[in-house]
Structure 1
Amino acid sequence: MESLKKNKEFRRVYENGNSYATRNLVIYVLKAKNSYNRYGFSVSKRIGNAVTRNKLKRRLREIIREFEKKELFQAQDVIFIARKPVVNLDYQRLKKEVMKLYQKARLV
């Protein structure tokens, strides 16, 4: 799984991409120039301490890996932004949230 790392890459997706939101997560999606998907994660300090933020990012990465195995979509830059209530979700509910966002964005 490739990731968005540079501020310039994040800004490009924020400015040119489409956003979709649920109560717990927001995603920005932009058609990429490459032939593979790239992902970025934005988890604010308001979400929790470093352990909590990293746990959430690890869970999101694992959920994305499961969806990638199914090869649902290609050539997208996707940024996930966590909202405060996401801390209370277990793995299965978080997975359902991601699926809802993918459906809203018509990525599935």
Structure 2
Amino acid sequence: MKRHPHRPPAPPPGKVAPIKENREYLRVYKRGRSQVHPLIVTYALKNRLGYTRLGITTSKKIGKAVQRNRARRLIKTAYRNLLPEIAPGYDIVVVARTKATFSKEQMVERALRSQLKKAGVLP
């Protein structure tokens, strides 16, 4: 089976496919639909891959590395819990806000669910 040279392979079921390159983030920021919440900002854009990819950004405004990594873990866990319900074929970028590091996992998941519903990624 030949793979397209610019198309990354689909991840195994249950795994989070990452957005890796800066130009991919910029494309989602520029063309994607944004949703704002006190904990996170979400951008969603259709892709042609047939599976959904996730990118997480945490700026130094959030705090030192421990706080930024905590925010990333919370967002990734929330995304993983919602993954079976998420429609395939989207690039999703989640920008963590300062309040996300001090929030509980359920609050972040609730925020992500509402943002993805507004963006049309969740039914």
Q: Shared fold by TM > 0.5?
A: yes
- What is the CA–CA distance in structure 2 between the aligned matches of 1:85 and 1:55, rounded to whole Å? 12
State the identity %: 30
1:101 matched residue in structure 2: 115
Report the alpha carbon displacement of residue 88 of structure 1 after superposing the two structures with TM.
2.2
1:26 matched residue in structure 2: 41
- What is the CA–CA distance in structure 1 between the aligned matches of 2:55 and 2:119, rounded to whole Å? 16
- Aligned with 1:5 (options 6, 20, 28): 20
- What is the CA–CA distance in structure 2 between the aligned matches of 1:31 and 1:57, rounded to whole Å? 22
- Structure 1 position 55 matched with structure 2 position 70: yes
User: What's the C-alpha RMSD, in Å, of the aligned pairs?
Assistant: 1.1
2:86 matched residue in structure 1: 72
- What is the CA–CA distance in structure 2 between the aligned matches of 1:72 and 1:87, rounded to whole Å? 24
Could you say what secondary structure the match of 1:33 adopts?
Answer: coil
- Structure 1 position 40 matched with structure 2 position 20: no
Deviation digits for residues 47-102 of structure 1, max 9, x if unmatched? 0110111111112111111111x243110000001122222211111111111111
Q: Which amino acid aligns with 1:9?
A: E
Structure 2 unaligned spans of 5+? 1-15
- Structure 1 position 15 matched with structure 2 position 30: yes
**Higher share in helix:** 1
Q: Which has the higher contact order (CA 8 A, sep 6+)?
A: 1
The aligned length equals: 107
What TM-score does the superposition give when structure 2 sets the normalisation length? 0.81
- What is the CA–CA distance in structure 1 between the aligned matches of 2:56 and 2:74, rounded to whole Å? 11
Structure 1 unaligned spans of 5+? none
